[in-house]
Amino acid sequence: MRSLKRHFSLITALFAILFAFEILVIVDRVLSAYESKLSERYAIVVVSDHNLTLDDFNTLHSSIKESQPLSTKNEIEQIEEQLAVGTIDLSLIKLPYFYALTLDHYPDPDELAKIAQKLKKSGKISRVETFSAQHDTLFKLLVLFKWIITLLSYVLFAVTLLLITKEMRLWQFQHHERMNIMSLFGAPVWLRSGVLFRLAFVDAIFATILTIITFVLIDYSGWIDNLMHHIGLDIVLFSFASDPLMLLTIAMFLSTLLAVIITLSLSEEV
């Protein structure tokens, strides 16, 4: 019971930090996937009098990933009743080429305007349609989400500092007497602080395991998967390959830092 109590406080603090951090990582993953999805779906439509290939477009702008020729047949068919038969064939020959250009990333409005300008200035493109109104709205929404995530990161950092400071005071109080007594009998610093580091190490492992179990349970419950499915995203929320190691590293770093600070603050007292 005595020992459990000692472990509980640091494990709780570390768990809170790891949980919040993993949430940030997951939200960041979702946003990246969403941005990538937007980038895949978004296309600039250009009109040219020339038959252009992807290489041609790449010489015009390097961020063009794909060019898809658009068929004009459907549009002609829609107005064919108003046109004579000969006119339809003539229109098909006379009509310029339409292309849907996909970019390798989701550009911001300024960049998009520059791309459009560069394409227009090339002389090969007669018209560019960027659907800027819709693009800008989506981009601003994405920027807002990213800003919220950044803000949350700062809040998390501040809360982490507060929790660690609180733990530090608690540890100083808990370990001060023992370390002082050991010092009076000539224990070197490593021996005096051995318990601290053991505690830090064990608690970091426990907090990491607890966080992993929590996210595995959330992942297996499926409700987040359903949510992602609804917004058309198919991503790995909790990566078993990288996340446990990342969480363990953070927990170890924080708890070791705590132990080092306490050791240094109590090393030269008596």
Partner 1 sequence: MDKIIIAEDLSLSYNNQEMIISKATLSINSGDFVIITGASGSGKSTLLKSFYGALKPLSGELIVGGVDLHNITTKKKNFLRRHIGIVFQDYKLIKEWTIEKNVMLPMIINGFAKDICQEQAVRLFGHVNLTNQMGKYPLELSGGEQQRVAMARALAHNPILILADEPTGNLDDYSSKLIWDLLEGSNTQLDATVVVVTHNIPSTIGVKYRHFEIEHGDVHEIS
> Judged by CB under 8 A, does residue 2 bind partner 1?
yes
Query: Which of the 8 DSSP states describes residue 267?
Result: T
Helices then strands, counting H and E runs in the chain, come out as 10, 4
Record the tokens describing residue 129, joined without a space.
């349609």
**Among 162-170, 180-188, 204-212, 238-246, the segment contacting partner 1 (CB under 8 A):** 180-188
Is residue 85 packed enough to be buried (19+ CB in 10 Å), middle (13-18) or exposed (0-12)? exposed
Alpha helices in 42-127 (DSSP H): 54-60, 73-78, 85-94, 109-121
Residue with tokens 């960049």: 111
84 binds partner 1 (CB under 8 A): no
Closest C-alpha among 70, 71, 89 to residue 80: 89
Of 55, 81, 110, 177, the one binding partner 1 by CB under 8 A: 177
Query: Is the Cβ–Cβ distance between 265 and 189 less than 8 Å?
Result: no
- State the nearest-atom distance from the C-beta of 183 to partner 1, in Å: 8
Greatest C-alpha distance within the chain: 108
178 forms part of the interface with partner 1 (CB under 8 A): yes
One residue of 4, 184, 217, 241 binding partner 1 per CB under 8 A: 184
In terms of CB distance, is 2 or 94 closer to partner 1? Answer: 2
CA distance 6 to 8: 6
One of 14, 25, 30, 182 touching partner 1 (CB under 8 A): 182
Measured at the alpha carbon of residue 163, what is the angle toward residues 159 and 167, in degrees to the nearest 5?
170
Q: Which is nearer to partner 1, 185 or 223 (CB)?
A: 185
Tell me if 264 contacts partner 1 by CB under 8 A. no
Which amino acid is residue 257, in one-letter code?
L
Per-residue b/e over 6-19, b at no fewer than 16 CB within 10 Å?
beebbbebbbbbbb
Amino acid occupying residue 183? S
Nearer to partner 1, 172 or 214 (CB): 172
Determine the interface stretch with partner 1 among 17-25, 42-50, 57-65, 177-185 (rule: CB under 8 A).
177-185
Q: Which stretch binds partner 1 (CB under 8 A): 25-33, 110-118, 131-139, 175-183?
A: 175-183
| Of 16, 138, 152, 187, the one binding partner 1 by CB under 8 A | 187
**By the rule CB under 8 A, 188 interacts with partner 1:** yes
To the nearest whole angstrom, how small is the minimum distance from the Cβ of residue 258 to partner 1?
19
Span near partner 1 by CB under 8 A; candidates 10-18, 176-184, 202-210, 243-251: 176-184
Which position among 191, 231, 236, 257 is part of the footprint of partner 1 (CB under 8 A)? 191
Q: Which residues contribute to the site for partner 1 (CB under 8 A)?
A: 2, 177-178, 181-189, 191, 267-268, 270
